[in-house]
Amino acid sequence: METKVKDIFERLKDGETIPPNDPQAHKMREASYATKELLLHMNNSSDPAEVRDLLSQITGSDIDQSVAIFTPLYINYGKHTKIGKNVFINFNCVFLDLGGITIEDNVLLAPNVSLLSEGHPISPEERHSLIPTPIHIKKNAWIGANATILQGVTIGENSVVAAGSVVSKDVPDNVVVGGTPAKIIKTIEG
């Protein structure tokens, strides 16, 4: 009986580490080039409806008309990104989404925010493997300019990530975090 090998994108979505010699690894690069072609069109458009339409093609899901994207936006795959309603994405954001990125409703992303759902092992022998782990940004969160959210992090509802922060651990609801690595600075009242 022949065993069917799961598609590499399903395995990435399931959090499976992908070694560099994986027989389907070439599919990741091919998909990135196809995404890049759409990004070239999207990043050169000044029409908000066209930008949303192209982002819908990139993500493979409907982008609500309440979503505003100030291009350029950079995404390496796209199909593992889910964007809610009334989301604002400012200039120069970077999404590495092979591990999955979920952005819930009413989220604000300032300029130069990086959402990096992918990483590599520390061991030099295994370093070229890819470790995907999802990022989840909950409702009404605000991610400040030049902040970096690393793989596997959840940003809590109503929380704020201060500009320039590097977030490597989950952030609870209703707090402000800042620094490198980001730590809780204060609680948001009411």
Active-site residue list: 120
Report the C-alpha gap between 107 and 112 in whole angstroms: 15
- Cβ-in-10-Å burial (0-12, 13-18, 19+) of 10 comes to exposed
Q: Cβ distance 83 to 93 under 8 Å?
A: no
Q: Cβ distance 99 to 134 under 8 Å?
A: yes
Q: Cβ distance 170 to 189 under 8 Å?
A: no
Look at the block and give the residue holding tokens 């990022």: 135
Report the C-alpha gap between 124 and 76 in whole angstroms: 24
Give the dihedral sign, CA 50/55/58/60. Answer: negative
Smallest Cα–Cα separation from 139: which of 106, 102, 187? 106
Q: Cβ distance 73 to 52 under 8 Å?
A: no
